[in-house]
Structure 1
Amino acid sequence: MPDELSELIDSPVERLHVEYKSWLDLAQPKTRADLARHIAAISNFGGGKIVFGIADDGQSCGPAPAGFELTHDTVVSITKRYLDPAVHCDVRWIQSKLGVDHPIVIVPSHGATPICAKANGPELKGKIEGIVAGAYYLRKPGPESAPIVTAADWRDIIRRCALHDRSTILAALSAALSTENADTSSANPRHLLEQWAASANADYLRRAGEGEYAAPIRDCRIQLSYVVETESPEEQPSSQFLNILREVAGEVDQHVASGWSLFYVFGAEPFAPRWDMDSSAPAEEFMQSSLIDATRTIGFDLWRISQTGLATAIREFWEDTPDFGFSPRVALNPRMMTRMLRELVWHAAIFAGRFAGPVRVHFRCEWRGLKGRRLVVPNAIPFRTRPAEVDTVVTETTWAAGALRTDIAEVVYRLGGKLARALDWDGLSAAGIAAEMPRWKQL
């Protein structure tokens, strides 16, 4: 399965949200204090990653030395000692193309309050090393993890704190918002979303051309789209838009681990997102990333997101690729389907929170190339279901923006129910999706 974390190892580029470290002795107090400072700074920056075993020049440092150990418990003990509130990070070991295993610490964004150092690092020759109690740290150009010293440093942190609280308020008020009374005029958000999806699909087919791919991407693909409806027209600022998309994607990763996220913001060419234009799209200018490349074996994605709240992602059925061991057009893994939908809903919920007056989010999901597919979960009891008889399924639903976080299981059920029925599956339910949700944080 492809994994965006692999890009951090195989194409290392140190950025503000990514810190690279060689193999360090985590038993040393100064090293632990340094790691706590980086975690605090990255969390206050909006989240990011710390990659071990990569030198400053981007070269691998080779296999981890004997005795090196970095686990979730290691990071928990460090953040509990030095940070308030403690940051709950994840740790994943990823193998590089060179066959070397590297640990990556996945640092979430701060919540309603920024992260503060609560204890000093060790004192050497009368100087406190690593981290200083009472200090707030932030990622700064260099990149480095340095104390906050100016009002400008606080601006984005305060905004994220406010957005965190506002999401809670929106959820409490969501009962007052209608999810059923969508406008039926030609300019309504659902109509715009259909146009948006169609223009992206046409661009996908154009880019695919007549090339030979490891999966039948021209006939079999999935397109998941949404639009944020606001009280009045709004746009995210152009100068901050890429960083906003990176922060949103990073927060989604805290809730669902999909391996290769729908709207992952690549840092390396040729997949790094860039501004693009399409005269046939409702939002003519948008940020777009395309992974359509005949040399790949999996991950033929295209996504585009506009400043006005339109988003769509197109990808092949992973089940059709050589990585999964099935023949094309024969399988659909329902666990992958529900996980992908949950990722879509989380992305919509978090991105909607970036707008001052989000009211509703309209979703549109389309599966093409279904006919003949059966439900398959590897290493599980086979489904006693018939293959799909229809080739295309389109589902739509509208939901109060403030209720998305609390109603994710129900929204996923609404979006996936029609597809489940097309595959002769009556086992999909909101309760079942809710029960499965805790496992979605693991690959």
Structure 2
Amino acid sequence: MIRRHFVQQAAALAALPALSRLGGTSHVGTAQAKPLVVNGARLNGWLTEFDRIGRTAGGINRVAYSEADLAGRAFTRRLFEQSGLTLRLDTAGNMLARVPGSDARLSPILVGSHIDSVTDGGNFDGPVGSFAAIEVARSLAEQKVRLRHPLEVVVWQNEEGGTIGSKIAVGLLTPADLDKVARSGKTVREGIGIVGGDVSRLNEAVRKQGDIAGYIELHIEQGGLLEKASRQIGVVEGIVGLRWFEITITGFSNHAGATPMDQRQDAMLAAAKFTVAVNDAIRSEGGRQVATVGRLNVTPNTTNVIPGQVVLTVDLRDLEQAKIDRFTATFERLGREIGAATNTAFAFSQMVNSTPALSDARIMDVVQGSATALGLSHQRMPSGAGHDAQEVAHIAPMGMIFIPSVGGISHSPKEFSRAADITNGANVLLNAVVAADRALG
């Protein structure tokens, strides 16, 4: 092992706080014999039971504010109660429980995720992190471990519809967001009331800088990097920034048979050239940047008429804001060049623009140190999907733990993570929380 790797591993192991038993209660001390472990069978049993809620022929359908979502929340409420946690709802409808720490001056360490699903989704995206957070709090109590910081468990509402619950919690939800329609057909405004919140008092749910000591979220990877590398744990470096464009390409509709090839203003041809150019540009340099042309609307969309207009979308993502900005300029330049070559006009408009959220170095270290202490293979990696952690990063240090998704599949009925990987992730979360209790001061 080269010296650099040895030093990194030693530092990671040192980040794990020790436990000493005093009067039947465990407190942070100076020497820990071995890492703590959760009850993995209990955690996976909860997930198996939960799989029945919202299960349809097409997959899991617990979309926000639906009857299945409410049933899922009722199930989760029972887990809080069975685990000895006192549940409260904030005015946004987020589910929360707080375990006091030994130092009342300290802000809480927050752990959790969400339980709502996409349409025809799977049972692991969200519930793994939510139920693991409950299991961590229960395991700490059962093993008589008391943290200095309070520990707060959260289940965010409507993550899949735009991280609504966490956006409210950090004060980023706009009045326009309240009128957006969720997959259930309910507006966010209606949905907040349905899940027990109060839209007239949303300001009471807002947290500010300093209110949270740190946030750690366990999640399935939603990709295949860990599986491909045969790694058990992903230490998330950050959540990619996202920029969506809608691009209108205007040409001229004319007869497909009577218009010579050199006299055409074919918007579809321009769209095809642009799609290939976007792909080539993204692949022309090293890195993890991605771009996707995902939707095309063609006018008049008729067999014997040259397309006069195409509206397409581009989804651009990367962990570096500078790279997102640079590729934005590249795509605009390509549009101008292809427009000139095809006698068409390109008009760009931004639909979504979110900045990258970088993980806190201290939390990455305690996650990595916990994985090392547990004997689990790991690697640092970005998250290509959005998460509630991205919102919390606006006001507090955050980090994420990934476990493998079989086949790299998510948002699908075939989404699956193995029980052993779920237990591994929960064990890393448990030990990372204990280590963060020391590292975050």
Q: TM (normalized to structure 1)? A: 0.23
Q: TM (normalized to structure 2)? A: 0.23
- The structure, 1 or 2, with the larger RCO (C-alpha pairs under 8 Å, 6+ apart) is 2
The structure that has the greater radius of gyration is 2
